[in-house]
Structure 1
Amino acid sequence: MSNTVTRADIGTAASEATGLAKSDVTAIGQRMFELIGEALKAGETVKLTGFGTLQVRSRAERVGRNPRTGTEHRITPRHTVIFTPSARLREALGGLTANGADAV
């Protein structure tokens, strides 16, 4: 059994839950991801109530080290997307172990 949920899995589940055609649900989902990507590229913060917040942060230039050889190299500055889960999501995940199974 796979621990990865794909976009297709989400589309199928949403289609079954809403009764909408899978193609319609897929088109809506695709457009949502496009809009989220566009907002992040513009430097905007994306808040998904009940799920979390996506925001772009700048990473400064730093020195990295190859763990195998110990040689140092420069890591260039870059922008990265940070996800902060909502309180509701953190609470829901609080009872899960690292592998995603319910804690006993």
Structure 2
Amino acid sequence: MTKKDIVRTISEEVEKLTQQQTKEVVQKTFDAIIECLVRDGRIELRNFGVFEVKPRAARRARNPRTGEQVEVPRKHVVTFKPGKHMEARVRELDEAEARRQQDLDDAKKLEPPAVNPLEPPPSSSPQGRWDTDQP
């Protein structure tokens, strides 16, 4: 989903706002989040999650193309910890996937085994083949 999709969804649900007005509100919201992170280093949005600025130490890494070791300088990164409501909703995806997988497994157990047209059918006779003298 892109910012444009968010704007479209909100403007369809809030009939009093045009898409242009909604776009401005969404952009101002994002700008306010960024400014708060720069100023305070943390923003908590109840029932959504917490954005936080954390320092990342300098480290050595390897250039994947050349294999050469390079120094990565210390920097600040934004982390996000989802709120309980978001985690619960995402967990529903795992539960739904587990149910789908269980349904597929159950369906496979009920299917008859596949028949290979190149293999002769198993003999129903307890004796040997009819065209040989072996029992």
| TM-score interval, smaller chain | 0.7 to 0.9
Q: Which has the larger radius of gyration?
A: 2
Alignment of 1:71-82 (within 5 A): 71-82=68-79
- How many residue pairs match? The answer is 96
Output the CA distance in 2 between the equivalents of 1:24 and 1:65: 46
Moved more, 60-69 or 75-84: 60-69
Q: Which runs of no fewer than 5 residues in structure 1 stay unpaired?
A: none
Q: Does residue 14 of structure 2 align to residue 18 of structure 1?
A: yes
Give the 3-state SS of the residue equivalent to 2:21 in structure 1. Answer: helix
Matched AA of 1:10 = I
TM-score, with length taken from structure 2: 0.65
How big is each residue's C-alpha offset from its partner over 1:22-61, in whole Å with a ceiling of 9 and x where there is no partner?
1111111111111111111124311111111111000011
Which one scores higher on RCO, CA 8 angstroms, separation ≥ 6?
Answer: 1
Distance 2:75 2:19 in 1: 37
Q: Distance in 2 between matches of 1:95 and 1:71?
A: 43
Task: Give the TM-score normalised by the residue count of structure 1.
Answer: 0.83
Superposed displacement of residue 90, structure 1: 0.8
* Aligned sequence identity (%): 30
Flag structure 2 segments of 5+ consecutive residues without an equivalent. 101-135
Q: Aligned-residue CA RMSD in angstroms?
A: 1.5
**Deviating 4+ runs (over 3 angstroms):** 67-70
1:27 paired to 2:29: no
Higher strand share: 1
Flag the structure with higher helix content: 2
